[in-house]
Amino acid sequence: MGRRAAAVHTSGTTRGLLRISQPSFALPTVLAAADPDPLKAALEAVFQAVSTCGEHYPELLEEIRAVCADRVEE
């Protein structure tokens, strides 16, 4: 998989867009997943991952739903 970059609004205008490295932006997701409280870790990791995915977040949430549905059926 190639490196992805996303645009982030810094000033509310298109002139204020910055390019960010998604792998670098994903670090808070990894840190959140390490929380000792499993529910808090899961929720915070999903929130951070959604933020990292930017406009592609619906694809991430669909993948999470599919994995959770598979677990329920087991």
Per-residue model confidence as pLDDT tens digits over 7-66: 444 444 555 555 667 778 778 888 888 899 999 999 998 998 888 888 889 999 999 999
Distance between CA atoms of residues 38 and 40, nearest Å: 6
Contact 7, 14 (CB under 8 A): no
Task: Look up the pTM and report it.
Answer: 0.61
Distance between CA atoms of residues 43 and 39, nearest Å: 6
DSSP 16: G
CB atoms within 10 A of CB 55: 8
pLDDT at 69 over 60: yes
How far from 29 is each of 2, 23, 37, CA to CA, in Å? 19, 10, 15
Cα-atom radius of gyration of the chain, to the nearest Å?
A: 15
